[in-house]
Amino acid sequence: MCGIAGIISAKHNIGNLQEMLKLQQHRGPDHTGEYVDPGYCALGHNRLSIIDLSAKANQPFTDNSGRYHLTFNGEIYNYIELKQKLKAYYNFKTESDTEVLLAAFIVWGKSCLNQLNGMFAFAIWDNYEKKLFAARDRFGVKPFFYSIEDKEFYFSSEIKAIKSLLKSNSPHEQVWANYFAYGSYGMPGETFHQNIQQLPGGHFLEYHGENLKLNKWYNFEDSLESYSHILSFEEAKKSYLEILNDSISLRFRADVPIGFNISGGVDSSLLLALVNRHHNNKNIQAYTFYTGNENYDELAWVEKMIETTQNPLKKVKIQPTDVIENAQFLSNIQNEPYAGLPTLAYATLFEAAKKDGIKVLLDGQGMDEQWAGYDYYQKSGSSTTIQGTGKVNPFRANVLKKDFRQLAEKPVYPTPFNNELQNLQYRDLFYTKIPRALRFNDRISMAYSTELREPFLDYRMVEFAFSQPKEYKIANGFQKFLIREILKEIAPKDLSYAPKRPLQTPQREWLGNELKDFTEENLEKIRYSKASHWFNFEEIQKEWRNYQNGDNQSSFHIWQWINTGLLMGEVVDRL
């Protein structure tokens, strides 16, 4: 994984590109490279070496003819298979997936995207036609931000790299208003910054002669047509397990050490069991966090699974002081609101892995969305996007001033399917859950120069699972039914049928008690920030008192305001 950056402009300044690369150096500390096409383009790259560690694979990478120049973030997991297909048309000089990606584009053009199994955001400059082509993977695992100002086109892996160059960068007030009123983190092309956009997952862009065109290359709905044949439950289990095993095998391709993040849930238990079952590698390091609060911790479940696999386990304990020490750092890394104490806790695993020399971690993101694992999937007419809140409204729009509150519009998501369950799954895959989680996870993993791989987000797995009948997903009162049936054959049954636990940290308790001063400090920051005109502070104080007096079934609204306090100094005050 790496960082990419570029400036397409007749008057680009190499110093500006170098500033962008410096701001995201944590994404790739192993090498920093630049390519300049004078009067047209400057490309930059921060490299985190994972496959082919030699200097020959450094980027920006130039093809044999000298025409095409690539800056690439991510991994093409099936690069070995693609290389075999391309050898007849391209003379390879490295063992990298980077060169395979560039060769695929040269040989197959835009259609190469459909051949790629991986996570990626990349840009290719054609110095003959003076044209930029850029693309993002199907689900948007890897980021691609861009902006146009004064006829200059900027792109990068992180918002701060672009923000440092813009003359005008105000907050996107409607995105902020929707965040407070509805918990939305923006639509696929939006950010919390007015003048900075993101290329949606499954899209590519072309920039030529100051003209920008965006196109969708991955049509998820059409891809499901190949799964129209209904399999028996046992056939579906067998077919899915084959794809899952292959996905894990592909994601073990690396020239550096690999580890795991593990919780006590079904998903990571399945991942850990299959890795050890098929790779016979019991010295793979596993990482988990805990808080010492038995009402939330999953440590007992994790240790039970580890008893089966015998992997070495590093347990990282999270305490309130860690929140105080790390919250601002992670806010600066995210550049946008993030999800609270679970994200802070998750970040400590990457910090621990980095200290241990582990450069790649795997985790179990994506299974809930493809196999209907959230509680609201069983509730007809549900519009919630937050697991485990029941009937409690997690938002407090009453604290917003009227003119700002009126900017908020409840997001409306496409409903391309003829049933409610698949429409909810589709929303979570492409608009809410997955984009949000991937954004948090990319930024915290790269803050510690560590690559995160998501085996369960292999597009073949998602398409297959999504297309299966509802009774394969939810049965006998259990969600992710087919997955549980697979797991019970290779793990203790009480693990395979363990209930979904929506919260992993005592955020509700800590914010009102151990972190009371921290909370109030950040609420006070809002009052003196450039966002102060968004809020009615009497209402905020009223809600804060209510929270302390027991109205704390949901802490999301409190964290929203803490997020704002943390970001105002680092994001809004500098706009």
The conformational region for residue 142 under phi > 0 = left, psi -120 to 50 = alpha, else beta, is: beta
* Annotation says 2 is catalytic: yes
Q: Are 247 and 455 in contact (CB under 8 A)?
A: yes
Please give the sequence-ordered ranges of beta strands (E in DSSP) within 405-454, or none if there are none: 451-453
Buried b / exposed e along 390-401 (16+ C-beta atoms within 10 A):
eeeebbbeebbe
438: enclosing H helix or E strand: helix 433-447
Q: Are 41 and 12 in contact (CB under 8 A)?
A: yes
Distance CA 413, CA 423 (A): 9
**Sign for the pseudo-dihedral over CA of 216, 219, 220, 223:** negative
408's tokens: 């908020």
Q: Which residues, other chains included, contact 84 with Cβ-Cβ below 8 Å and sequence gap of 6+?
A: none
Distance CA 394, CA 556 (A): 6
> Which residue's entry shows tokens 């029941």?
390
Nearest alpha-carbon partner for 314 in 331, 301, 302, 297:
302
Nearest alpha-carbon partner for 288 in 308, 310, 259, 266:
259
Catalytic residue among 2, 299, 447, 474: 2
Distance CA 58, CA 33 (A): 7
The dihedrals phi and psi of 258, each to the nearest 5 degrees, come to -120, 140
Is 97 a known ligand-binding residue? yes
184's tokens: 């939305």
C-alpha distances out from residue 482 to 84, 373, 379, 459, 496, Å: 35, 11, 20, 18, 10
Distance CA 123, CA 451 (A): 20
Q: Are 206 and 110 in contact (CB under 8 A)?
A: no
Q: Are 323 and 341 in contact (CB under 8 A)?
A: yes
Surface-to-core class of residue 482, CB atoms within 10 Å of its CB (0-12 exposed, 13-18 middle, 19+ buried):
buried
**Could you give the maximum distance between any two Cα atoms of the chain, in Å?**
71
Q: How many CB atoms lie within 10 A of CB 273?
A: 20
Q: Are 157 and 449 in contact (CB under 8 A)?
A: no
Distance CA 78, CA 100 (A): 10
Q: Which residues, other chains included, contact 79 with Cβ-Cβ below 8 Å and sequence gap of 6+?
A: 51, 96, 97, 100, 101, 118, 253
User: Binding site membership: which residues?
Assistant: 97
User: Binding site membership for L-glutamine: which residues?
Assistant: 97
Annotated catalytic residues are: 2
